[in-house]
Structure 1
Amino acid sequence: MHAGPGVDLFASETFATTDVHAVWRRLRQVTPVSWHPVGDDGFWSVTRYDDVQHVLRDHTTFTSEQGSLLTLLGKGDPAGGRQMAVTDPPRHARLREPLQRALSVKEVERDLPRIRSLIRELLAPMRDGGVFDFAGAMAAMPMAVIGSWMRLPPADWPELTRLTAASIAPDDPAYVGSGGPQRTLVRAHRELFAYFQDVVAERHAAPGDDLIGVLLGMRVDGERLTPSEIVSNCYSLLLGANVTTAQPPSAALLELAGTDTLADWAAHPELTVSGVEESLRWSSPAQHFMRYATRDVRIRDVTVHAGEAVVAWLGSANRDEDVFARPDTFDIRRRPNKHVAFGVGPHYCVGHTVARVALRTLFHELLTGFTDIEVVGEPVRLRSNFIAGYTSLPVTARGARP
């Protein structure tokens, strides 16, 4: 058995208090495939880029249907085979294709003016020169985008944002409620599913052309999705948007504020695309995806047995020295940049186009609209083994002259 690094990669606190990139670097160098015990169970950590690609592409050997996140280790996933995120091909492709069409470049670009207006509104308070919680503002951005695409009332957006955050970071001080993390997690899931049950029941009579309407009209293998399947996929879409898109801007600003690199980027708006891709690689907001081996399989010099959990660390793959030159440098001109921040293989993020457009717009508005951006307080890292991010990032800035 190849033992892990002596650092608990299951505990969410590790990711808030430890330089996890140093841990992953050591694992890549010494034991790129290692076993991490968790009580009477455990999981295999896969940290090298090529191995992460292998695990996430080979759905016949590594299934997603028993759970794709460490929070479900050893528990199974009741949504397996019904929710797109935890369904293997070929059914996965039939669930994905209608949503992929609805989230196409053409459809996203049609919504660009609204996205730009919303981002300007979120950034506007920075213009007064006072302390501005940049991470807090970014947490609201993806909800406003996906909320409109799902035709959810704006009055509900703040609470939906809080509930999705609580569902992936239930022991974070910002979200943990009475009764502790487990009760927080159960309560967040229950409230989100109850919310969407009501929405789906209301929409059945008159489905629109929004994402929920797409799910209501979808047929898979000749049959419509059941109400519970629609609700489960609504939850998955909301979670995927809210807990990932918010993080790259904060990570980038924390690294670059006050540096020549940020000034260089601001002076070269043509670098928006490569800069955004680097922010995705750098932040790797979704830190892992879990799979279960369906048969005995060799990964490097390790035999993973059928039924064992395998965790592919995207954050580690995106700093693999064999793939990325100077991986610990934020390079706004990095090309090529074959990061796996959106995953890889069949489960490549269905909303990647929306996320990229929102992030490009955000960075353009930030870098052309503001100068003298500085981090002026201690950032607060999120406690989560799934999402790498921040719950608070105090900054100041000056509004650029028109």
Structure 2
Amino acid sequence: MELNLSKEDAAFRDEVRSFIAENYPQEMRVANPETDLTKEQSLLWHRILHKKGWIAPLWPKEYGGPGWSIIQRYLWEQETALAGALPPLAFSITMVGPVIYTFGNAAQKQKFLPRILSGDDWWCQGYSEPGSGSDLASVRCKAVRDGDHYVINGHKTWTTLAQHADWIFCLVRTDPAAKPQSGISFLLIDMKTPGISVRPIITIDGSHEINDVFFEDVRVPAENLIGEESKGWTYAKFLLGNERTSMAQTGRSKRYLKQLKKVAASEIRVDDPSASDFARDIARVEIDLMALEATEFRMISQMERGKDPGAAASLLKIRGTEIMQRVRDLSHRAIGHYGMALREHPASDNIFVPGPDYAHTVTEKYLNTRKLSIYGGSNEIQRNIIAKAVLGL
């Protein structure tokens, strides 16, 4: 399925394809870039894009964005996903950056935005807590004003890449007497501040991607408060809207679906009794992916006319994550007994990895994608949002 592009947009797409092919670092072309690359390796593409002026497609030109149209931003996301390029860190570029330039003051914009663009500061997200996942209004991490500082005590969990982060943006409770959504503030916290400790959480696929973060009498300058005290719920919803809109990931799913078809053709014989059922399952997920892409096109068209998709963005999050999980499940089924192996280390000349090249890391990716329907607000919560805000139930 293709958008009906103008000559200008078609030329832009061709430019993007050529730029990626010619400039994406070879050492980043690994099977699992999200977990196999060091922080410095991950920043190679970031710095190339920053030099080009393409690091922040969503940002207005006045803050360092490229000034692209909505269609061009969509084309960029699609082409980078289809090429298998690791996107810049979303916590920095897609999440906290837009919050700062939308709700931050002049000093905050001047301090933080240039370092986000350059990659000098990496950010992580301090939202979830034990007992406060999709129900973010129940966060308990406490911030008490003490002169020119807030004193933070509490515990954040599932904090992705906190082990590498320079800063964390946090939802903290500044007014415990207020209604849950009304007593939350949005704070920017330097991860080097005394009293912060990070403990790794090893996930089911064997990788260290997420962490617990503990705050013990952490003093944060009050100047790091975004907007008004106890108005953080507004900023948090704005951030999550940006995150969920980008979760359709149709380009990424199309790339993985293409890989799945190749694996199935190699591993499943035509005379296998399960072959027809498997082919039907692939056809179903491909049809669902085409339907998701059509929905995405409709939302892009609405946004081009100045209409915010609002809660409807939750549709993209639900279907996008479910389709990705199904593609990964089918890939895992297709490789058969090779799927019993769990690769604990990046493949190298000194490490034996059983099975053909295309079977490497499939199990890890299958296990890792179990999280997709949970993070960014669980799909169950997204259905509630759609029921109330879109269907009026």
Higher relative contact order, chain-length normalized (CA < 8 Å, sep 6+): 1
Name which one, 1 or 2, has greater alpha-carbon Rg.
2
Whether these two folds match at TM > 0.5 is no
TM-score if structure 2 supplies the norm length? 0.29
